[in-house]
Amino acid sequence: MESDFFSATPDCEIVTTRIVPFPKEIVFSAWAEPEHLKNWWGPEGFTNTFHEFDFRPGGRWLFTMHGPEKGNYENECEFVQIEKPAVIGWKRISKPLFNVLFTFEELAEKQTKIVFRMIFDSAEECNKLKPFVADKNEENFDKLEVELGKMSS
């Protein structure tokens, strides 16, 4: 079931990849542990308030993203697939609707490749977010690298 859940054609997904100079286990922990995730999740200038973080398949993640100028954005997700320390997948229950799949691949002892896939039901839905989401995902990864540095020291 999970594999179908995350299958997509190229016109229905946005893929962001980053290689980070940290071990796979630490990179996975930055996602799996809310005390770290809340520090880096979201684009530059955004902060988070986590209301629920039940990190298991079927568990819910409820949080509010606080925008830098104004606005609070309520988010609700359900974890669908967790394979420590290689895969995390969830589906968004709040709009915009899409599925997310993160994979972590160890390239060397202290080098991990992260692949972030946002999977949409249609090319039309995907194209609504595509113009600005790639840059925002890079900002997200920049914040992740700062958090990984703190976790490693």
Q: Are 11 and 17 in contact (CB under 8 A)?
A: no
> What pLDDT does 10 receive?
78
pTM above 0.95, yes or no: no
Query: Domains of the chain: which residue ranges?
Result: 2-152
Q: What is the mean pLDDT of each run of 10 residues along the chain (153 residues)?
A: 63 95 97 96 94 98 93 96 97 93 96 96 91 92 97 92
Query: Which superfamily does CATH assign the domain made up of 2-152 to?
Result: START domain (3.30.530.20)
Which residues in 4-153 belong to E strands, given as ranges?
13-20, 47-53, 60-66, 72-83, 87-92, 99-108, 111-119
> What pLDDT does 5 receive?
64
